[in-house]
Structure 1
Amino acid sequence: MEFHLVFILPPLLVLGWFAWRRDDASWGRAPLSGLAIMLFLAVVYTTPWTNVMIPRGVWWYGDGAVLGTIWYTPIEEYLFFILQPILTAFWLFQFLTVEDRSLLIPLSHRLAGAAGGLAICVLGYFLMGTTSTFYLGSLLFWAGPILAIQWAFGITYLIKEVPRLLAVALVVPTLYLWTVDRIAIGLGIWSISETHTIGLSLLGLPVEEALFFFLTNVFLVQGIVLYMWLLDRPYEFAGVGWFSERAQAVDSERA
């Protein structure tokens, strides 16, 4: 809990204040509803995974470092499922924009996006079969389905329209979370198993931990960006659907 109070809440509150006060920032029903959806999904999707990883001994917590647990996961860990997405989202809100591109993207792009996510999932499945790659494999197996869904829906938009936005939105919070995670490990708040990791680290931070924070930020940022894109084009999403003649006609007029 002290970790949250020192490292997570202060920047979260500052970024939230700026997002609320700055005219150039995104705030209001649309971005906040997107964040609310992502928070719900983060808790629902991450809870079963952590409650498999902790009893497996992939990571554990220092004596007296947590208030209590629900299932196998500390209360503070559940809180982190909420605080991290809010922190990253409030950073994204500082410069979140929506580009004028149709939801109509080629079917081949959708299939390629889905295949890419599923390939990551399959790779993770095989890596889980070895003890030293279990953490890495479980991350990829867990992440693959989410990436497949997001990329199948909007990989063209993400790559062609908002790559710079994604880069800035991901780099800053990810680097910050890497830093504070390394501090927490050094303080013994939590420990990562050497048996279930491949042994590579970034200045003492296991690569699996670095990948975890990167992937969770990718989920959050891509999810909100795609959600805002969807809300920006309701005429395509309503009625017959994305492939209606009306959607194509309106898109031609706007072009």
Structure 2
Amino acid sequence: MYDYAWVHVVYTIPLALILSVVLAPLLTRLDVYKICFLTTVAFSYTLPWDSYLVRNRIWTYPSEAVFGPSLFSVPAEELFFFVVQTYITTCLHILLNKPVLTAVHLRNEAVRGKFEPQKRLGQLFFIACFVVPLLLPTNNHEGTYIKLIVVWVAPIYFMLWTFAYQLVLSLPLSKTLLPITIPTLFLWIVDTLALQRGTWSIESGTKLGIHIWPHLEVEEALFFLVTNCMIVLGSCAFDNALAILDAFPSIFPTVPGAPPPFLMLKSLFTSTSRYDQERLDGLQNALTVLAKKSRSFYLASGVFNGRLRIDLILLYGFCRVADDLIDDAASVTEARTWIAHFTAFLNTMYSEKKDNASLEKALAPFPPKAQSILRYLPVDKLPSKPLYALLDGFRMDLQFSEEKSSGQPPVQTEQDLEHYATCVAATIGELCLSLVYAHDPDKHISLTTDKREECTEAGVRMGRVLQYINIVRDVTTDAETGRCYIPSEWLVKKKQNAPKVEQEEEILACRKRILATAFQGYTENRDAIEELPRYARGGIRVAVESYMEIGRVLRQRIHKGQPLDFAGGGKQGRASVPKLRRVWVGWRTMAGRRGSC
């Protein structure tokens, strides 16, 4: 009795619930919009076709296997299958593609090479899939079901391929094949069990009689494969539309938090020749830098979305370009020259008289990849003062090279340490929050000016906290480059040329002291994150907690008496957090669970 309902209770609903639990902390407003949109389209497109199959007895259900309620002769259980299959496959696609910044997979085909041949071949193939079955003789009733499947999916495949071919051809295969393969294999097993039990059946006169394995008809295998492909293609087309809207403010100056379908269609019909390829290249270069230089912030970036994510990546790219060019300079003189170049660049970007000529002149000293990132720094949403303060932090770093002649280390007191951390990290906290507020889709219900200022001040303090963690972690590697951010007034024994063991004990005590200060600041300021706009709150949490996890690793090593300068894999170097632990921290944080103080 009611076998079809039990199929859902035993198989599809538990899988949907598992995916819901895993994905729920990561879901954004746009993800929910996508799920609802694709489910509605899939239901609407499948219902007439499935109704035709049932009415013509190509596909039948024993009366005792279903409850009885139906819509256009399609049982309620089958209607639910339309929804739950789309939900499962879409959720899996969303989950696997969270780290992907879709915009970097766009390309201006007039500049970066064309996908036109592949696009046209795909379109011709889907046209043939629609036309050829219609031209075949109609006396072969055994092929009726498979013919109807192919004719039904071909038009939607044609449309989705036209809209999403760039993503399908450029995304890593794991991002498209896995969300197709996993649900397909699962549903093949479910279908095999259902066909074996007689929960539903294909009429013998309309099928080919070929089996993939015992009890799995080739038509059913094809059905679940092509429908899951269709769902993933639809999800890719949805992502492609959002990426176009987000990547090109010159084409789409404003984008609502949940873009209406007509605007998304407009973006999909935008010619690729209008894409700003230089902007896409700059974004790709900034993302590459982020992935290589900061695994914690790279993880956090996947939680943000839309133009906020893009601008945060461009901001981080600017910071890393500056850090690398100045730090890697062959001499202090060269490093100061780079600081002068960055100062001139900022002067130009914030000048009311800025034009293309002055911008090109300011960018001329920088390497091409650096230019591609700097050019798109979103200065219209960023205050200038923190960016100039960042350069002051680099100037402090240069003083270490001049210490031998002056005898005055740049970090002598705890106040010097705080000032340095403010310049190189607290400024980043302020800049990030400036972007958060600039992109807030709910500005009309957002925080008051006073509350924003309170949150920004807390963000500044949290930035210092994260820099303290960084300093504690990098004491050894910094020393190799002649830098010591531990206040010199703390290092009494080092000044007195005490034995090395005693000096190491003193340095360890200093690291503990800075680490304790960091965790105290974290405890005092972390609640301010809950006052941020909801759409960015989770991403900021992940960024903070991912970095604080490094502090927890350091604290654990101190407690166990282990060396602090070993990576998670056992190689000598900076303490780090293993990848799986970082992912767990990110998920736990998004689920609303904070780490220990």
CA 1:55/1:101 → structure 2, altered by over 3 Å: closer, same or farther? same
TM-score of the two chains, using structure 2 as the length reference: 0.40
Deviations 1:70-94 (CA, angstroms, capped at 9, x unpaired): 2221111111111111112222233
Partner of 2:96, secondary structure, is: coil
Counterpart of 1:16? 20
Counterpart of 2:173? 163
Deviations 1:32-62 (CA, angstroms, capped at 9, x unpaired): 2112111111111111101111122211001
Counterpart of 1:81? 82
Asked whether the 8 Å contact 2:90–2:232 carries over to 1, the reply is yes
CA 1:71/1:245 → structure 2, altered by over 3 Å: closer, same or farther? closer
Counterpart of 1:197? 207
Bigger relative contact order (CA 8 A; separation at least 6):
1
Equivalent residue for 2:127, pick from 118, 139, 148: 118
Whole-angstrom CA distance in 2 between matches of 1:84 and 1:37: 14
2:223 aligned with 1:212, yes or no? yes
Partner of 2:205, secondary structure, is: coil
**Higher radius of gyration, 1 or 2:** 2
Whole-angstrom CA distance in 1 between matches of 2:193 and 2:137: 28
Whole-angstrom CA distance in 1 between matches of 2:29 and 2:162: 26
The percent of aligned pairs where both chains have the same amino acid is 24
2:7 aligned with 1:3, yes or no? yes
The one-letter amino acid paired with 2:202 is: I
Whole-angstrom CA distance in 2 between matches of 1:121 and 1:246: 32
RMSD (Å), alpha carbons: 2.2
CA 1:246/1:120 → structure 2, altered by over 3 Å: closer, same or farther? closer
Counterpart of 2:28? 28
Whole-angstrom CA distance in 2 between matches of 1:45 and 1:94: 25
Deviations 1:125-153 (CA, angstroms, capped at 9, x unpaired): 23582311111111000010111111112
Written as runs of structure 1 = structure 2, the 5 A alignment for 1:179-198 is 179-198=189-208
Counterpart of 1:55? 55
Counterpart of 2:37? 37
Moved more, 64-73 or 39-48: 64-73
TM-score of the two chains, using structure 1 as the length reference: 0.89
Written as runs of structure 1 = structure 2, the 5 A alignment for 1:139-178 is 139-178=149-188
CA 1:122/1:246 → structure 2, altered by over 3 Å: closer, same or farther? closer
Counterpart of 2:584? none
Compute the displacement of 1:113 (Å).
Answer: 2.7
2:238 aligned with 1:227, yes or no? yes
Counterpart of 2:72? 71
The one-letter amino acid paired with 1:40 is: T
Whole-angstrom CA distance in 2 between matches of 1:34 and 1:18: 17
Structure 1's unaligned 5+ residue stretches are none
Moved more, 105-114 or 11-20: 105-114
The one-letter amino acid paired with 2:176 is: L
Whole-angstrom CA distance in 2 between matches of 1:33 and 1:128: 43
Compute the displacement of 1:103 (Å).
Answer: 5.3
Asked whether the 8 Å contact 2:164–2:240 carries over to 1, the reply is no
Partner of 2:105, secondary structure, is: coil
Structure 2's unaligned 5+ residue stretches are 254-266, 285-597
Partner of 1:93, secondary structure, is: helix
Moved more, 97-106 or 210-219: 97-106
Compute the displacement of 1:108 (Å).
Answer: 4.3
